[in-house]
Amino acid sequence: MILKNILRRKGRTFLTVLGISVGIAAIVGLGALAEGFEAGYTSMLSGSSADLVLSQ
């Protein structure tokens, strides 16, 4: 029954799969972007020998 409905409504199935794929890609991309920012900021701070760092 499930397979029958999937095959009968190909357009809706395609749009559903596309939406889920875009959502997963967005989450993965934002996670990677956040990790990159964190790594860059950490390397910038570790290169400095200051005892106190002020950021605005």
Position with higher pLDDT, 33 vs 1: 33
User: Could you give the CA distance from residue 40 to residue 44 in angstroms, rounded to a whole number?
Assistant: 6
Report which DSSP code applies to 54. Answer: -
Domain coordinates of the chain in residue numbers?
1-55
Q: What is the pLDDT of residues 3-56, one digit of tens each?
A: 898 889 999 999 999 999 999 999 999 999 999 999 998 888 887 777 777 777
Query: Which pLDDT belongs to residue 19?
Result: 99
- Identify whether the C-beta of residue 9 lies closer than 8 Å to the C-beta of residue 2: no
Model's pTM, two decimal places? 0.68
